[in-house]
Amino acid sequence: MGANWGGESVTTQHVFPSTLESVDQAEQTVLDAARQAGFPEDDLHGIAMAVRECVINAVTHGNRYDSEKTVRVSVTRTAEDLTVRIADQGEGFDPEALPDPLAEENLLRSSGRGVFLVRAFMDEYTVRRIEPSGTEVTIVKRRDMQA
């Protein structure tokens, strides 16, 4: 783990093995950063769940539990927002191609709600391919400036 200070931005980087234990660890790491950044309790719950879902996807669908592959998580907090990047070394996916979990025919499916929940709890969700192989998901939670 390392910390980069630049202006009012603080970034920490973390590398996790492709295991289910990493899901809890990554969630707790980001939760700690968000708490230090002063996000309210309801936001913390949403951020934690969003990170959890993204890391689950990275470990299970991206890296497929491959012990040779890692999940890299970076957390950047500024005065305006919290940005979390989760990168795996898998083959990638198209979030637009995922089935709509709210569609009548999908409502009783036992899976397929992870990305939907991430989008519900975060202000931004983007996915990009990284070279030579992998996917990086970026999620952003903005501070409520009215609070």
Partner 1 sequence: MSVKLTTRQVGDVSVVDVAGRITLGEGSSALRDAVRDLLAKDHKKILLNLGDVTYIDSSGIGELVSAFTTVTNGGGQLKLLGLTKRVQDLLQITKLYTVFDVHESEAHAVRSFS
Give residues in contact with partner 1 (CB under 8 A). Answer: 20, 23, 45, 49, 52-53, 56, 101-102, 107-111, 113-114, 116-117, 120
**Min CB(144)–partner 1 separation in Å:** 17
15 vs 120 by CB, closer to partner 1: 120
**Min CB(141)–partner 1 separation in Å:** 16
Whole-angstrom distance, CA of residue 101 vs CA of residue 6: 40
**Min CB(116)–partner 1 separation in Å:** 7
111 vs 146 by CB, closer to partner 1: 111
10 vs 117 by CB, closer to partner 1: 117
Hey, CA dihedral for 81, 39, 1, 69, is it positive or negative?
A: negative
Whole-angstrom distance, CA of residue 109 vs CA of residue 105: 8
42 vs 80 by CB, closer to partner 1: 42
**Min CB(43)–partner 1 separation in Å:** 13
